[in-house]
């Protein structure tokens, strides 16, 4: 768990962010690397657009899951059965090639007192998705963030995703899906709770 926490990019000391001008210059270099001419008319504003779109696609670095998960509802604390949000769509980017990952996350927890606003579960997916990721780390980070902040009896996270680095290039396997899971607490130690998670996650 320590290793995962240390790998949260948001918790590390931030490196100084390059200027907008430096980012745009880097895009010009990549345009030339691709074989095009950054000074042709159609590409003149592209570095600016790419820099702006990177701020959006990687906005997760500026957000902390703890801030989002800190807001809970105590008044529903009588409820102690599974809360499961299924098929939360997300986009991320793989840390190896910076190519898109398209997937959906199913997240459940067993409350032990406070419950989360449902949108906060989806927001946690955004926070970790909008960073450079591996699917394994993203799955574990979501589970640990909910476990550490809410302290429920257990958390279950299932992610199913397609990696463009495997589809558009390299091995070029279109339509292959990768599934990863992380279980904490009772979802890890109690086979019946884990089976219930899978039943609810797959029940169409
Ligand atoms: N475990 C894991 N691997 C990933 C993920 N996203 C991409 N990869 C893999 O990262 C690996 C990087 O392999 P390398 O051999 O260093 O890079 P490469 O030469 O570009 O590899 P190929 O994709 O096989 O052409 C590849 O096997 C990718 O499929 C992920 O989320 N989790
Ligand atoms: Zn990749």
Active-site option among 24, 141, 144, 163:
163
Residue 135 is among the residues annotated as catalytic for this protein = yes
Q: What is the pTM of this model?
A: 0.90
CATH class for the domain made up of 4-57: mainly alpha
Residue 177 is among the residues annotated as catalytic for this protein = no
Burial of 64 (0-12, 13-18, 19+ CB in 10 A): middle
Sequence ranges of the domains in the chain = 4-57, 64-202
Region 64-202: CATH code = 3.30.1130.10
64-202 shares the fold of 4-57: no
User: According to the model, what pLDDT value does residue 47 have?
Assistant: 98
Distance (Å, rounded) from C-alpha 53 to C-alpha 56? 5
Q: What is the DSSP letter of 18?
A: P
Burial of 80 (0-12, 13-18, 19+ CB in 10 A): middle
Q: Does 83 sit in the ligand 1 pocket, CB within 6 Å?
A: no
Tens of pLDDT, residues 81-116? 999 999 999 999 999 999 999 999 999 999 999 999
ipTM of the predicted structure?
A: 0.86
User: According to the model, what pLDDT value does residue 38 have?
Assistant: 98
Q: Does 162 sit in the ligand 1 pocket, CB within 6 Å?
A: no
Ordered per-residue pLDDT tens for the chain, 204 residues: 344 444 445 445 567 899 999 999 999 999 999 999 999 999 999 999 999 999 999 999 999 999 999 888 876 668 899 999 999 999 999 999 999 999 999 999 999 999 999 999 999 999 999 999 999 999 999 999 999 999 999 999 999 999 999 999 999 999 999 999 999 999 999 999 999 999 999 986
User: According to the model, what pLDDT value does residue 12 have?
Assistant: 52
Q: Which long-range contacts (CB under 8 A, 24 or more apart) does 163-169 make?
A: 163/94, 163/99, 163/101, 163/135, 164/94, 164/99, 164/100, 164/101, 164/102, 165/94, 165/96, 165/97, 165/99, 168/99, 169/97, 169/99
Residue 96 is among the residues annotated as catalytic for this protein = yes
């Amino acid at each position: 768990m320590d290793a995962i926490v240390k790998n949260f990019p948001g918790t590390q000391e931030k490196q100084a962010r390059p200027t907008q001008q430096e980012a745009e210059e880097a895009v010009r270099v990549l345009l030339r690397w691709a074989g095009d001419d950054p000074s042709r008319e159609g590409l003149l504003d592209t570095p600016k657009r790419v820099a702006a779109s990177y701020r959006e696609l990687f906005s997760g670095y500026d957000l902390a899951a703890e801030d989002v998960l800190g807001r809970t509802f105590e008044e529903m604390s009588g409820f102690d059965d599974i809360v499961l949000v299924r098929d939360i769509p997300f986009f991320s980017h793989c840390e190896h090639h910076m190519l898109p990952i398209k997937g959906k996350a199913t997240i459940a927890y067993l409350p032990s007192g406070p419950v989360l606003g449902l949108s906060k579960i989806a927001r946690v997916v955004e926070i970790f998705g909008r960073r450079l990721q591996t699917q394994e780390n993203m799955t574990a980070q979501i589970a640990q963030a909910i476990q550490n902040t809410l302290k429920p009896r257990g958390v279950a996270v299932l992610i199913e995703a397609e990696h463009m680095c495997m589809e558009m290039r390299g091995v070029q396997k279109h339509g292959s899906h990768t599934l990863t899971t992380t279980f904490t607490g009772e979802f890890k130690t109690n086979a019946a709770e884990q089976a219930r998670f899978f039943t609810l996650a797959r029940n169409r």
